[in-house]
Amino acid sequence: MVILIEVICDDVFATAELAGLTFPLVICDPPYGNIIPEKWDRADYPKWFDLCARHACQTATIAMWGGVGKVRNRPFLHFAATVETHRPEWQIKNWITWAKKRAYGVQDNYLFTREECLILTRGEPTFNIPLLETKRGYPGYDPAYPAKSEFYRRTNVWTDITEIMRGKIHPTQKPDSLYEILVATHTNAGDCILDPCAGSGTTGRAAERLGRDSVLVEISREYIAAAGML
């Protein structure tokens, strides 16, 4: 099987190369807004979601990453609270919390370890039940309804993925294994996935390992080159 990774170095909001293309899964990790000292870190979740929805199949999943933000700067939470009202054809199917290993914070508050991923769906998209590598050791609580697998089923709180501690290509780069879960769960072999802000190419690597094609759009040639995508 030949796996296609198409890389588009352009402004995703201006490029004509996506015209007419739709995908069963769109993974989007947009700027969270004033989180890191980069001039591009300006949040506009509705704009990013409209772009993702425009390139989503009629039956599709959008995985939208975000964070809880800071005092009086919580654009992701506002987006999550209003998206189903503004775009009623879409629903928040789930809210994934990635509980990272490294914590940070201040003396008078709980330590902070989390990032979020909204799973938004339209129609009846692909969902392959995600399992952990840990075996349950028992057939289930109710003998009349035994567990369908000897392995635990993944919940919406992910505690088994360690963040990248050093050697990042992109300042907000996430581990490939996070994306592998999304790709394996929400697509089938041979599907094609869109990442409109590809950064370090995480989606492309995850898709390739799992036998999926991908289209990656990244405005920075520097990040594309560093990730070996040129």
Spacing of C-alpha 229 from chain mean position: 19
| Identity of residue 166 | R
Q: Is the pLDDT of residue 2 over 70?
A: no
Residue type, 80: A
Distance of CA 156 to the CA centre of its chain: 13
Is the model more confident about 41 or about 44?
Answer: 44
Max alpha carbon distance in the chain (Å)?
A: 58
Pairing between β-strand 23-28 and β-strand 5-9 as defined by DSSP bridges = unpaired
- CA dihedral sign of residues 152, 153, 159, 160: positive
Give percent above pLDDT 70 in the chain: 98
Pairing of strands 213-218, 5-9: parallel
pLDDT at site 144? 76
The answer on pLDDT for 230 being more than 70 is: no
Q: How far is CA 132 from CA 125, 150, 160, 175, in A?
A: 22, 10, 9, 17
Stretch 188-207: mean pLDDT, rounded? 96
Residue 179: band (very low, low, confident or very high) from pLDDT cuts 50, 70, 90: very high
> How many residues can be counted in the chain?
230
- Enumerate the β-bridge partners of residue 8: 217
Q: Where are the alpha helices (DSSP H) in 18-74?
A: 45-54
Q: Mind listing the domains of the chain with CATH numbers?
A: 5-130+156-226 (3.40.50.150)
Tokens 């995908």 correspond to 23
**What is the pTM for the complete model shown?**
0.94
Q: What is the pLDDT of residue 38?
A: 81
- Residues 24-28, mean pLDDT to the nearest whole number: 98
Q: Which of 67-71, 87-91, 92-96 has the lowest mean pLDDT?
A: 67-71
Among the residue ranges 37-41, 96-100, 177-181, 196-200, the one predicted with the least confidence is: 37-41
